[in-house]
Amino acid sequence: MSGHSSFQTNNPVLKWIEYRLPIFGFINDSLVVYPTPKNLNYWWNMGSLAGMMLVLQIITGVVLAMHYTPHADLAFASTEHIMRDVNYGWMLRYMHANGGSMFFIVVYIHIFRGMYYGSYKAPRELLWWLGIIIFILMMATAFMGYVLPWGQMSFWGATVITNLFSAIPIVGEAIVTWLWGGFAVDQPTLNRFYSLHYLLPFVIFAVVFIHLWALHVHKSNNPLGIDIKGPQDTIPFHPYYTVKDLYGMGIFGIIFAWLLFFAPNLLGEPDNYIPANPLVTPTHIVPEWYFLPFYAILRAIPDKLFGVIAMFASLFILFALPWLDTSKVRSARFRPVYKMLFWAFFINCFVLGYIGAKPPEGIFLVVGRLSTALYFLFFLVLPFIGWFERPKKLPESIATAVLESSGDDGGGGGGAPDGAAAKAEDRG
Amino acid sequence: MVKFAKILALSAVAALFASPLFHSSKALASGSAEPLLEVSWSHRGPLGTFDRASLQRGLQVYREVCSGCHGLRFIAFRNLLEIGLKEAEAKVIAAEYTTMDGPNDEGEMYERPGKLSDYMPSPFDNEKAARASNNGAFPPDLSLMAKARIGGENYIYSLLLGYEEEAPEGVTLAEGMSYNRFFPGHQIAMGPPIDDEAVEYADGTVPTKEQIAKDVSAFLMWTAEPALEQRKRMGVKVILFLVVLTIVLYGVKRKVWADLH
C-alpha cells in the first residue's frame, strides 16, 4: 500500500495533474484504501470528531473575527453587537464558545482512549508526542480566546494565569511585563491575545497534519493492542470507517446542538457577562472547566513556584509515558493491574476537576493535595507494574480474535474476515 | 444493541465531564446561602417563548422604577418592536428622551428627541456621577443582568422581593444600606425598589409586588438574551434534523458493515 500509489484513472485531466502532483493518489491512499484495523470500537471515533471541531472552530472564529473589535473599551460591546445585531451572531458565538468545550471533551476522551489501549507505545511515541503538543496548543488557544470577550472572568483569568510566570526566579517579573505588554493586563494584552488566538489554530492544524502523517506510518492501534499482521486484519478506511465516523458525528452533533441551543451558558461563568473591571476582583476566579484539574494541582502546592512547576509537570510528564510504561503489552484489556490503575487515574482526574472548582481551603485542600499526589504516583508506579504484572494471553491476530468473539467489542467490526480481506484487496 | 450501549456510555461520559464541574463551580460562586425563590417562566424549557404582555409591563416597570439609576445600554428603541410594541409606540417612547447629537454643519453639538435607532440613555454621565448621587454605590447597567448572576432571572426576582424591614439580630447595617436575604453579604445599597402598586398597569393586571418583580425580571431576561426564542425554535429543528440524519447514517453504517459479519 505504501510506496507506489494505488490510484488508477483513465481521465486525462486527472492523469495530467496526478503526474505532476500525486494528490489523488495521496487522498486515495490516506482516506480511501487506507488499511485500518477491522476491530476499532467507538472510542476510535474521537479523532475525526476532534478534526471536525477544529475546522468548525476555525470557520466560526473567522466569521466572529469579522465583527469583533480587540480593544479594551470596545471588546465587550462588540461581543454584544455580535449577539444582538449580527445575523445569527448569537449562534456563531455560542457555537464557538461551546465548540471549545466540545473540542476538549472529545480530545480528553481521545487521550484517555490512547492511555487505556496503550496507543502511545512503540512505534507510536512520536504520534503521542504530537498529540500532547496539540493538546498544549489547544489549551493556550482556549485560554487566550476566553480573554477576548473582556468580561470579568476574562480579565481576571488572564491576570491570574499570566501572573504564574512571575514565580520564575529573577526573570519572572520581567517575563510577565513582557507578556502583558505593560504593567497590567490591558489593551496591549488583549490585542496580542487576539492576534495569537487567530494564529494558533492554524499551527494546531499543521501539527494535526503531522500527527496524521505519523499515524499513517504504523496505522491505528486497536482495542487488542496487537500489530496488524496482514491484510486479513484490516479493512479499507472507506467506506467502513468513513460511514462509522459520520454516524459518530451525528450522535455528537445532537449532544452539541442540545448544548448550543438549549443550554448555551451552562458551561460559562455568569461573571463574564460583567464587563472587565480592573478595580473589582470577582469573589472566586475560576478557569474554564477544562483547566480545572490542572488548576487544582497548581493550588495544591503551598509554594507558588513549585505549584507552577507541578502544574506544568502534570502536563509534560505525559511525554514520558511511552518510557514510563515498561510493559510490552499495549491494551489494558490484557493487563489486569494496569487496568485498575488506569481507572483509578481516570477517576482521580475527575476529583481534581471537582477540587479545581472549589476554594482551596479545608477539606478541599486536603483532598486536592491527596489527588495531586495520586496523579503523579500513577506515573511513578507505572514502570514497576510492567515488571511484575502477568498479562493475559494475547490473541494470535486481530482476525482470529474477531472470529472468536464476534460482536464482543469490535463495535461492528466482528465477523468473518475473509470477505473483508478480499474486499480490501480488490480496492488495493 | 451493544453499539447503542457504547454510544450511550460515550454520551454519559461527555455529560459527566460537564455536569459535576458545572454545579460545583456554580455553588461555589454563590455568596448567599439562601435558595432563590422559584417562579414559573414562560420562556423556560425547549419550546419556551417570552410572554409579550409581561415583557411590556416589565418595560413599564423599568422605565418608571429602575431607569432612574440603572442603564440599559445595549437596548435600542428599535428593539422594543421585538416585544410587541407598534412602531409608533416605540417612536413615542424614544421621543420622550433627549439625545446629544452632532456636530451639525456649524460644528455645534445639539440636543434632539430620541429616534428608534438610538440606544436607551444611561441615567448618569459616568461612574463617578452615579456614585456621587447614590451614596457611593454604582448602580450597574441591567442589559445583561439576567445572565451575569447565578440564578439569572430568578435571582433578580428574589432580590427584588428579598428585602427585610429590619436586619436580623446581630447584623448592623452601614449608613443608608438595606438588608436583603439574597444579596451576597446581605447588605445592599439599593433601597427596596418596588412595593405593591408601585406602578399602575394599563392592561388591568393587579400590580402586586410579586407581579411587578416577575414582569421586570422577565423583561430583563429578554434584554439579556433577545435571541432566546429564535435560538430555541432553531434548536428544535436542528435536533430533529440531526436525529433523522443520524438514524439514516446508522442504517447505512449497518448495511456497509453487514458484509463483514
B251 has a chain A CB within 8 A of its CB: no
Q: Write out the three cell numbers for B166.
A: 429590619
Q: Would the pLDDT of B250 be above 50?
A: yes
B10 CB neighbours in chain A (<8 A) are 42-43, 109, 251
Do β-strands B98-101 and B187-188 pair in parallel, antiparallel, or remain unpaired? unpaired
pLDDT of residue A153: 97
Query: How sure is the predictor about A408, in pLDDT bands with cuts at 50, 70 and 90?
Result: very low
Residues 79-98 of B with CB under 8 A from A: 79
Q: Write out the three cell numbers for A33.
A: 484504501
> What number is the average pLDDT over the span A350-365?
95
Task: Give the CA distances from residue B107 to residues B103, B110, B114, B213, in Å, rounded to whole numbers and listed in that order.
Answer: 5, 10, 20, 45
Q: Would the pLDDT of A190 be above 70?
A: yes
Q: Would the pLDDT of B92 be above 60?
A: yes
Q: Nearest CA to B201 among B210, B192, B212?
A: B212
Judged by average pLDDT, the poorest of A389-393, B15-19, B69-73 is B15-19
Q: Would the pLDDT of A401 be above 80?
A: yes
pLDDT of residue A1: 39
Contacts of B55 (CB under 8 A, 6+ apart): B83, B84, B215, B218, B219, B222
Contacts 24+ apart (CB under 8 A), B20-27: B20/A350, B20/A353, B20/A354, B21/A289, B21/A292, B21/A353, B21/A354, B21/A357, B22/A266, B22/A267, B22/A289, B24/A354, B24/A357, B24/A358, B25/A269, B25/A286, B25/A289, B25/A292, B25/A357, B26/B150
Q: What percent of chain A has pLDDT over 70?
A: 93
- Closest chain B residue by Cα to residue A406: B261
> What number is the average pLDDT over the span B89-115?
95
Per the CB < 8 Å rule, is B17 touching A289?
yes
Q: Would the pLDDT of A277 be above 60?
A: yes
Query: How sure is the predictor about B1, in pLDDT bands with cuts at 50, 70 and 90?
Result: very low
pLDDT of residue A417: 40
Q: Nearest CA to B123 among B160, B157, B48, B73?
A: B73
Q: Would the pLDDT of A241 be above 80?
A: yes
> What number is the average pLDDT over the span B248-256?
97
- Closest chain A residue by Cα to residue B261: A415
> What number is the average pLDDT over the span B182-194?
94
HSE of A232, CA atoms in CB hemisphere, 13 A: 13
Residues 329-358 of A with CB under 8 A from B: 350, 353-354, 357-358
B128 has a chain A CB within 8 A of its CB: no
pLDDT of residue B261: 62
* pLDDT tens sequence across B129-186: 999 999 899 999 999 999 999 999 999 999 999 999 988 988 889 988 999 999 999 9
Cα angle for residues A169, A172, A174 (degrees, 5° grid) = 135
pLDDT of residue B260: 84
Query: How sure is the predictor about A12, in pLDDT bands with cuts at 50, 70 and 90?
Result: very high
Give the gap in angstroms from C-alpha B3 to the nearest C-alpha of chain A.
6
Interface test with A, best of B4, B21, B22, B241 (most A CBs within 10 A): B21
* N-to-C CA span, chain A: 7
pLDDT of residue A406: 61
Q: At B235, which helix (H) or strand (E)?
A: helix B228-258
Per the CB < 8 Å rule, is B231 touching A261?
yes
Per the CB < 8 Å rule, is A357 touching B257?
no
A328 has a chain B CB within 8 A of its CB: no
B238 has a chain A CB within 8 A of its CB: yes
Distance of alpha carbon A107 from alpha carbon A103, whole angstroms: 6
Instruction: Indicate the SS3 state at residue B152.
Output: helix
pLDDT of residue B33: 63
pLDDT of residue B186: 93
SS (H, E, C) chain A: CCCCCCCCCCCHHHHHHHHHCCHHHHHHHHHHCCEEECCCCHHHHHHHHHHHHHHHHHHHHHHHHHHCCCCCCCHHHHHHHHHHCCCCHHHHHHHHHHHHHHHHHHHHHHHHHHHHCCCCCCCCHHHHHHHHHHHHHHHHHHHHHHHCCCEHHHHHHHHHHHHHHHHCCCCHHHHHHHHHCCCCCCHHHHHHHHHHHHHHHHHHHHHHHHHHHHHHHHCCCCCCCCCCCCHHHEEEHHHHHHHHHHHHHHHHHHHHHHHHHHCCCCCCCHHHHCECCCCCCCCCCCCCHHHHHHHHHHHHCCCHHHHHHHHHHHHHHHHHHHHHCCCCCCCHHHCHHHHHHHHHHHHHHHHHHHHHCCCCCHHHHHHHHHHHHHHHHHHHHHHHHHHHCCCCCCCCCHHHHHHHCCCCCCCCCCCCHHHHHHHHHHHC
Residues 160-199 of B with CB under 8 A from A: 184
User: What is the average pLDDT value for chain A, to the nearest integer?
Assistant: 93
- Closest chain A residue by Cα to residue B14: A105
| Residue scoring higher pLDDT (A331 or B1) | A331
pLDDT of residue A404: 79
Instruction: Indicate the SS3 state at residue B60.
Output: helix
| Residue scoring higher pLDDT (A73 or B23) | A73
Query: How sure is the predictor about B9, in pLDDT bands with cuts at 50, 70 and 90?
Result: low
pLDDT of residue A402: 85
Query: How sure is the predictor about A171, in pLDDT bands with cuts at 50, 70 and 90?
Result: very high
* pLDDT tens sequence across A20-51: 999 999 999 999 999 999 999 999 999 999 99
pLDDT of residue A291: 97
B231 CB neighbours in chain A (<8 A) are 90-91, 94, 261, 264
Q: Would the pLDDT of A422 be above 50?
A: no
Interface test with A, best of B75, B245, B257 (most A CBs within 10 A): B257
Distance of alpha carbon A289 from alpha carbon A142, whole angstroms: 11
Q: Write out the three cell numbers for B205.
A: 393586571
Q: Write out the three cell numbers for B248.
A: 439514516
Give the gap in angstroms from C-alpha A161 to the nearest C-alpha of chain B.
18
Give the gap in angstroms from C-alpha B41 to the nearest C-alpha of chain A.
15
Query: How sure is the predictor about A403, in pLDDT bands with cuts at 50, 70 and 90?
Result: confident
Query: How sure is the predictor about A324, in pLDDT bands with cuts at 50, 70 and 90?
Result: very high
Q: Would the pLDDT of B188 be above 90?
A: yes
> What number is the average pLDDT over the span B242-257?
97
pLDDT of residue A6: 76
Question: Which residues of A are part of the catalytic machinery?
Answer: 216, 220, 244-245, 288
pTM metric for this prediction: 0.91
Residues 149-188 of A with CB under 8 A from B: none
HSE of B30, CA atoms in CB hemisphere, 13 A: 17
Instruction: Indicate the SS3 state at residue B203.
Output: coil
Residues 179-238 of A with CB under 8 A from B: 235
pLDDT of residue A424: 37
pLDDT of residue A409: 46
Contacts 24+ apart (CB under 8 A), A160-164: A160/A285, A161/A287, A162/A189, A164/A298, A164/A304, A164/A308, A164/A311
Distance of alpha carbon B90 from alpha carbon B83, whole angstroms: 10
| Residue scoring higher pLDDT (A405 or B250) | B250
pLDDT of residue B74: 98
* pLDDT tens sequence across A88-113: 999 999 999 999 999 999 999 999 99
B235 CB neighbours in chain A (<8 A) are 257-258, 260-262
Distance of alpha carbon B129 from alpha carbon A220, whole angstroms: 65
Q: Would the pLDDT of A266 be above 80?
A: yes
Q: Which residue has the cell 480481506?
A: A421
* pLDDT tens sequence across B28-41: 334 456 899 999 99
Q: Write out the three cell numbers for B97.
A: 428622551
Cα angle for residues A358, A146, A92 (degrees, 5° grid) = 125
Distance of alpha carbon A213 from alpha carbon A297, whole angstroms: 34
Per the CB < 8 Å rule, is A101 touching B149?
no
pLDDT of residue B14: 52
> What number is the average pLDDT over the span B239-256?
98
Judged by average pLDDT, the poorest of A182-196, A281-295, B4-18 is B4-18
Query: How sure is the predictor about B19, in pLDDT bands with cuts at 50, 70 and 90?
Result: very low
Distance of alpha carbon A26 from alpha carbon A37, whole angstroms: 20
